[in-house]
């Protein structure tokens, strides 16, 4: 039997013990819309048609406390990776914004297919990449 299909990634998670610093980075520096925060556990941000989940790993590896929301324990330790889809025409503006906010540019380069990626680190050490959909799909979507 064939798989019924997947339409995309609805959410992606990174882990950070300091949620205040994560919120300042994702909500302040990057300007993402905060959609939910539970102090000491998580802060969530909207990015177009998907969500960036930032969890405190010490909390999400615990069994669920609310029987109405029985999400299994999960988490990761160490730096993860997240790539944010941005328009190619906005890459210079993103670099300028990041530098103006005091964010160190870890790498800024062109892939063999000519697509540009900018890499930075969030306050927890997670790798955050900015690139266009052309990186993987050959066209901006």
What CATH number should be reported for the domain holding residue 99?
Answer: 3.10.180.10
The verdict on residue 19 lying in a domain is: yes
Q: Which range of residues forms the domain containing residue 85?
A: 11-67+76-137
pLDDT tens-digit series, residues 12-47: 999 999 999 999 999 999 999 999 999 999 999 999
The verdict on residue 1 lying in a domain is: no
User: Residue 65's pLDDT is what?
Assistant: 84
This prediction's pTM: 0.92
The verdict on residue 115 lying in a domain is: yes
Kind of pairing, strands 127-131 and 81-85?
parallel
The verdict on residue 2 lying in a domain is: no
Indicate the SS3 state at residue 45.
strand
Indicate the SS3 state at residue 40.
coil
Separation of alpha carbons 37 and 54, rounded Å = 9
User: Residue 141's pLDDT is what?
Assistant: 65
- The answer on pLDDT for 139 being more than 80 is no
The domain total for the chain is 1
The CA distances from residue 3 to 38, 50, 84, 90, in Å, are 35, 22, 27, 36
The verdict on residue 31 lying in a domain is: yes
């Amino acid at each position: 039997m064939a798989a019924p299909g997947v339409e995309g990634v609805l959410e992606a998670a990174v882990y950070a013990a300091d949620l205040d610093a994560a919120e300042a980075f994702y909500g302040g520096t990057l300007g993402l819309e905060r959609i939910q925060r539970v102090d000491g556990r998580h802060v969530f941000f909207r990015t177009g048609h998907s969500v960036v989940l930032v969890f405190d790993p010490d909390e999400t590896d615990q069994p669920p406390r609310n029987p109405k929301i029985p999400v299994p324990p999960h988490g990761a330790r160490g730096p993860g990776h997240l790539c944010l889809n941005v328009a190619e025409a906005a890459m210079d503006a993103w670099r300028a914004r990041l530098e103006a906010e005091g964010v160190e540019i870890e790498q800024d380069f062109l892939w063999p297919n000519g697509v540009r990626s900018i890499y930075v680190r969030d306050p927890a050490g997670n790798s955050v990449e900015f690139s266009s959909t052309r990186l993987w799909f050959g066209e901006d979507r």
